[in-house]
Amino acid sequence: MIAVLVITGYISDPIIDIPSLALLGFLTYRVINVVIKTRGRNLYSYEGKIGKALEDMKVGKEGYVLVEGEYWQAIALEDIKKGEDIVVVKREGLKLIVKKRASRVETDRV
10: helix, coil or strand? coil
Fold for the domain defined by 45-109: OB fold (Dihydrolipoamide Acetyltransferase, E2P) (2.40.50)
Cα dihedral 57→80→93→50 (10° resolution): 150
- Supply the pLDDT for residue 41: 63
Contact between 83 and 53 under an 8 Å Cβ cutoff? The reply is yes
Give residue limits of the domains in the chain: 2-39, 45-109
Q: What is the pLDDT of residues 48-84, one digit of tens each?
A: 999 999 999 999 999 999 998 889 999 999 999 999 9
Banded pLDDT at 87 (limits 50, 70, 90) = very high
What confidence category does residue 90 fall into, taking pLDDT thresholds of 50, 70 and 90? Answer: very high
pTM of the prediction?
A: 0.56
Q: What is the DSSP letter of 43?
A: G
